Structure 1
Amino acid sequence: MDSEMTQGLWKDWRLHALVLVTVIVTEAIGTYSFSVGPGVILLLPMLYALIIGLILYFTPLVKEKQSKNAEPIIILGVALLLAKIGVIIGPSLPQLIEAGPALLLQELGNLGTIFLALPVAVWLGLKRETIGMTHSVAREPNVGLVMDKYGMDSAETRGVLAVYIFGTVFGAVFMGLISGFLATLTPIHPLSFAMASGIGSGSMMAAASGSLVAIFPELETQIIAFAGASNLLSLSTGLYVSIFIGLPLTEKLYSVMTNRRKNKEAIK
């Protein structure tokens, strides 16, 4: 980023004022929880901030300049979050080592999107967009992988970009809600959900671990350490899992399912 762009970024007072007001409003609202059966759904300030930011985007208050300037600030915010996580992970290394295979193999859990989402997408009649949409959770490395393999204008790229955008807007909201709900609904240990929250997205991981910390404050250090380490592993190993397992498996299953569907239609 050149110096002129940097100066323009920090002098964008409209953007900073909107962010400050949003933070004040969301912190004033605070954390709110309510029960759904035996589980608890936790609403965090981050959720309110996402909703307010989305609403502001469609108002005259936010112009194209503000939306572009906000992008590098988000990266900066996530960088600070990762730095904090790195400091917390250090003292928790013995516990992380003790978790061992569970932490290392957690990346295979991200392949669940193939077996859960692919059949639904094919059933809905989606074409090769399905491959890009369901081979992973579609974060930045996966978008780059699909673009490189299939091309910028391919159906697969349209699919992965659709899920990437959807995940950016709603992913943190979903992860924040579902982690708190399942952690109180099921007998599974909170640290398992902390490991599950590290899917390769800083915002989603922060939302999920934030909900867990609010419910289990006595485990705050361990939850943040496990979530951070899991997220780091997902970022470092997730691309290779997608290259060698996720994408080929999705291609194969898509081919099998669509051929079966064509055969059934031909019989009719």
Structure 2
Amino acid sequence: MNKVNAVLLLVFALVIITIAELIGIQSITIGSITISLLPLVFAIIITMVLGMKVLRAGPLKRIYSKQNVDFSSKYLIFIMLPLMARYGADVAPQMGEILQVGWVFIFQELGNLGTVLIGLPIALLIGLRREAIGATLGIGREGELAYISEKYTLESDEGRGVLSLYIIGTIFGALFFSIIAPVLLDLGFRPEALAMASGVGSSSMMTGASSTLVARLPEMESTITSYAAASQLLTSFLGTFTMIFLAAPLQQFMYKFLVRSDRT
């Protein structure tokens, strides 16, 4: 990538980020359900719209060139590394708090295996193959993105799988969590349990779920936010170990077994 393209790509990213931040968090209320739209969602949507062929002209055509796309996907990991370091910096001072949270929070980490146990067979059933490795290792957030990038590269089938899930989760994840949390609340689930469940390792999804719960139960705001934050912190800390030592080996075993069974 030449210097002109690099500067153009950087300016374009800064403009999109600025526009998304100016839009801010927007909420849509449908009956008793409040849907929160975060700036990250707007940034992805704007970038996708501008990437449509009918709009690609002039500078946009250079920005969305194959060279720039290949460069961005290849070096995306360098953008993720500071975020991984930030997670570590956030977790370290809270080690005492994490140890006092209780086994309930730790037990919920087993739920991370659901993407493998349930998602992998479905992905293979609808025709995915190596892409399913990246798409079902977890919920497709930064941890899974970094792991797949390091092990397979983002240019591989596995990399395309996790990138696709990352984008889909960014656009629809917060929306889904904003809708499902109040629905489950109406079905009788305790707000504490829903707040704990919102900490799945994605800040946008946690914010979407907890904000809708707070909107419904403002008198429990401190309880909901503290449970959600503790769960998110623990997931960010333990999720990587669960993924590497439990989810990844289980996934490899299931993939080989299911693909072999499919061939026979």
TM-score of the pair, normalised by structure 2: 0.71
How many residue pairs end up in the alignment? 224
- The answer for unaligned runs of 5 or more in structure 1 is 35-39, 84-88, 264-268
Indicate the larger mover: 141-150 or 123-132.
141-150
Q: Which residue of 2 aligns with 1:176?
A: 178
Q: 1:192 maps to what in 2?
A: 193
Superposed CA offset, 1:26-59 (max 9, x none): 76xx55132xxxxx53223x36x66655554435
Separation of aligned partners in 1, 2:41 and 2:199: 22
Structure 2 equivalent of residue 154 of structure 1: 156
- Residues 119-145 of structure 1, C-alpha deviation per residue, up to 9 Å, x if partnerless? 111111111111111011121121111
* Gap change, CA 1:227 and 1:127, over 3 Å in 2: same
Structure 1 CA distance for aligned equivalents of residues 243 and 202 of structure 2 = 15
Q: How much does 1:172 deviate? A: 1.2
Equivalent AA in structure 1 for residue 30 of structure 2: S
Contact 1:129–1:160 (8 Å) recurs in 2: yes
Partner of 2:213: 212
Please, which of 162, 165, 185 is the counterpart of residue 163 of structure 1? 165
1:209 Cα deviation after fit: 0.6
Distance 1:13 1:155 in 2: 31
Q: Deviations over 1:164-217 (max 9, x none)?
A: 1211222111111111211222x2211111111111111111111101111121
* Post-superposition offset of 1:110: 1.6
The amino acid that maps onto 1:174 is F
5 Å matches for 1:74-89? none
Given that 1:42 and 1:181 are in contact with CA atoms closer than 8 Å, whether structure 2 keeps it comes out as no
Change (3 A) 1:15 1:160: closer
**1:37 maps to which residue?**
none
Secondary structure of the structure 2 residue equivalent to 1:32: strand
Change (3 A) 1:252 1:217: same
AA aligned opposite 2:151: K
Matched residue of 1:42: which SS?
Answer: strand
Q: What are the equivalent positions in structure 2 for 1:58-137 lying under 5 Å apart?
A: 58=49, 97=100, 100-137=102-139
- Structure 2 unpaired stretches of 5+: 1-6, 64-71, 73-78
Q: Which residue of 1 aligns with 2:230?
A: 229
Q: Pick one of 17, 38, 43 that aligns with 2:35.
A: 43
**Conserved 8 A contact 2:199-2:228:** yes
* Residues 197 and 204, structure 1, Cα contact 8 Å, conserved in 2: yes
Alpha-carbon contact 2:20-2:42 (below 8 Å) kept: no
TM-score between the two structures when normalised by the length of structure 1:
0.70
Offset of residue 13 of structure 1: 8.0
Q: Structure 1 residues 114 and 180, CA, compared in 2 at 3 Å: closer, same or farther?
A: same
Determine the C-alpha separation between the residues in 1 that align with 2:212 and 2:44.
21
* RMSD (Å) for aligned C-alpha atoms: 3.7
Q: Matched residues in 1 for 2:126 and 2:163: separation?
A: 19
CA drift of 1:249 comes to 0.5
Identity of aligned residues (%): 36
Alpha carbons of structure 1 residues 131 and 218: separation in structure 2 relative to 1, 3 Å: same
Deviations 1:61-98 (A, max 9, x none): xx76xxx9xxx9xx99xx8xx99xxxxx9xxx69x94x
Specify whether residues 231 and 128 from structure 1 end up closer, same or farther in structure 2 by C-alpha distance, changes over 3 A only.
Answer: same
- What does residue 86 of structure 1 align with? none
1:247 deviation in Å? 0.7
The 3 A distance-change label for structure 1 pair 16 and 136 is closer
What CA distance in whole angstroms lies between the structure 1 residues aligned with 2:250 and 2:17? Answer: 44
> Structure 1 residues 252 and 55, CA, compared in 2 at 3 Å: closer, same or farther?
closer
CA contact (8 A) 1:42 1:177 kept: yes
CA separation of 1:127 and 1:190: change in aligned 2, threshold 3 A: same
1:254 and 1:124 map into 2 onto residues whose CA distance is 14
